[in-house]
Amino acid sequence: MAKGYWVSVYPVVPAPEGLAAYNELARAAVRAAGGRTLSRGGRVVAHEAGTAQRVVLVEFDSFEQAVAAYGSGAYRKALAALPDGFERDFRIVEGVD
């Protein structure tokens, strides 16, 4: 079974300290859904049309698990904690077997 991944790129983070509530809630929601954070805000080297902003990569044991985690009540609560003016490009992708 192919793994599932959350891939997030954050082009606009107006006040990083404002993410504290979201980070705490999202971390708990991801763990409860069986997700593992592989990268969170580390160094980025961008190529072609890529951007070097903050990137977060979360792995789940399956694509379906990743989709379900995003739709969970716990993660919806985390999303509600995102501050105003915050932007991200969020995708759920299926890995290869």
Encode pLDDT of 19-33 as tens digits: 889 999 999 999 999
Domain ranges, residue 87:
4-94
Encode pLDDT of 33-76 as tens digits: 999 999 988 888 888 877 778 889 999 999 999 999 999 999 99
Given this model, what pLDDT does residue 42 score? 85
Confidence of residue 16 (pLDDT cuts 50, 70, 90): confident
Q: What's this model's pTM, rounded to 2 decimal places?
A: 0.89
Given this model, what pLDDT does residue 66 score? 98
Residue 23 host element (H or E): helix 20-32
pLDDT of residue 82 exceeding 80, the answer is yes
Domain with residue 40: its CATH number is: 3.30.70.100
Are 71 and 4 contacting, i.e. CB atoms less than 8 angstroms apart? no
Structurally, the chain folds into a number of domains equal to 1
Using only C-alpha atoms, the chain has a radius of gyration, in whole angstroms, of 13
CB within 8 A of 87, min separation 6: which ones?
10, 11, 12
